[in-house]
A and B are shown apart, each in its own frame.
Chain A
């Protein structure tokens, strides 16, 4: 029996008990208390541009769909017929004029309102489903921020703005990079899975020690690669990123790791546009800068492009990266099973070649057959297996402990070095708040106080 006290004991200064990753009962509580409370990112409204366009996904373990309304808004509905419980959509995406249940034909409008049932005369008047107000139930709260569709299974709680806190600027960073001020999901949604806990991936994306170990094989292979060999550009992007994982220790120590309340955080001051997107003499980048300056003015364009943010984590289900327009949505399936949905964004108004590079980048960081990702997935599975051991029941999160610093009054704390485990500690601080019902997971850096 997981009492509040026992759950609270799982997260201690500089360490976390392995049950947080392996116990199925803890997972059940996570679905109820974290995924049942927090704002979850479901996707982007560019996936469903026209009325009747829908995309199905999950909130925790619950099937939901987001659908474009005739009035232009986005609704998030539970994918569950009000009659006997079948899902009303089975496809990952599509376009409908109405939702029709496959079992008995109950038919719903795009807003979820029940418009027809078979043999309506079979119901006594007072039990007629339409009289009773049955329909596809709407998820309690939905908010769209610059195209990003968030929803919460909780009827009350912090607003989306309060929930995101300082991390809202990471979404701005992504969208502001488009000369037209809008991004769109382009191409398909790629999925991959691993037999391990959902928290591993959120930890890993702000973990700066792992690349040289986990990715040793792809770093070495890329370092030995002859740059003169034929490429259509895709291989060049991929090889460059693999080499970047092998950057010297001083670089990793020097980058910035920031965390905010609610378990969120981001990595920045990593590599800047000059090195990453293109060299300054690259004609594609020159053209992109020209379009940005035409759209925003020189000063504002420079300000936008000077943001050097890399991975951002919005706890509990988002990892994204603005510089290459990458998004990963984390879907926990079980304590030892996780699925990631990965998206690539096109910056509207930017040169098409930039999108090609974003796709090439996505293939190497998110492709199921990537020489980089496959090693991450392997290690996640080895973590899950290893955590089954009774010896060393505690996971150590002590790197940089006590050295985190308050970063002024911007609601952020910063790791003392770029290799601090501040992000893991901060995620587990939020985890404990959700799981024990203490703390409001409010905006504002709290990692320093917690230590």
Chain B
């Protein structure tokens, strides 16, 4: 062992970096395979799924967001993705999520593991390819040998830019 301090939390298997990373990859895979029901099942009842407008936006209440879903709205969002007359996804986008630079924070927040990562989503639809690059923050609840997502925040680097609509799951 080197002399550097090891955070106590890293001794807890719930903070296992490899397991957390495998879970984020699993989440990305469900989205890219368009298994949105299974993706939604990863989220807790008190979840938030949030794409802020502003860099370092403090909260979703005092300024608008590109997306801010509580559980009820997230269920509606996912149900809509399966509707035959969703014009913005007819035909549907093909997406590819790449997750990298995973950091498990040493201290939990609200009893949840805090994970930061980088995410690049490539989207192809109607002869166009777009990239959504962002920093992600997950808050995960250890449950039954895996995790559930209580909070996912995606800070797109171009959140304040002039974007066309974003109908996909990021």
Contacts and interface: CB of A to CB of B under 8 A. Distances in A.
Interface of A: 92, 186-188, 190-195, 214, 216-218, 220-222, 224-227, 229-236, 238-239, 242, 339, 342, 344, 355-356, 359-360, 362-363, 366-371, 373-375, 377-379, 381-382
Given A217-B83, A230-B71, A188 B165 contact: no
A27 B69 CA distance: 38
Contacts, number: 158
Contacts of A217: 80, 83-87
B12 interface: no
A407 B80 CA distance: 41
Contact of B160 (A92, A231, A236, A369): A92
A193 B163 contact: yes
11 contacts: A187-B62, A191-B160, A192-B164, A194-B164, A214-B87, A220-B79, A231-B73, A359-B63, A367-B68, A377-B88, A378-B88
B80 A234 contact: no
Contacts of A214: 87
Contact of A368 (B46, B85, B87, B165): B165
6 tightest Cβ-Cβ pairs between the two chains A and B: A187-B63, A235-B72, A235-B73, A374-B165, A217-B83, A221-B80
Contacts of A218: 76, 80
Interface stretch (B17-25, B53-61, B104-112): B53-61
A222 B76 contact: yes
Q: Bin the interface of chain B by size.
A: 35 or more
Contact of B66 (A226, A231, A367, A379): A367
Contacts of B85: 216-217, 220
A190 B53 contact: yes
B65 interface: yes
B63 A188 contact: yes
A356 B53 contact: no
Given A218-B80, A225-B76, A375-B87, A234 B64 contact: no
Contacts of B13: none
A387 B94 CA distance: 27
Interface in B19-74: 45-46, 48, 51, 53-54, 57, 60-74
Contacts of B80: 217-218, 220-221, 371
B72 A188 contact: no
Contacts of B164: 192-195, 368, 377, 381
B8 to A, nearest CB: 32
Interface in B85-122: 85-88
A206 B70 CA distance: 30
Most chain B CB within 10 A, of A190, A217, A230, is at A217
Contacts of B61: 356, 359
B166 interface: yes
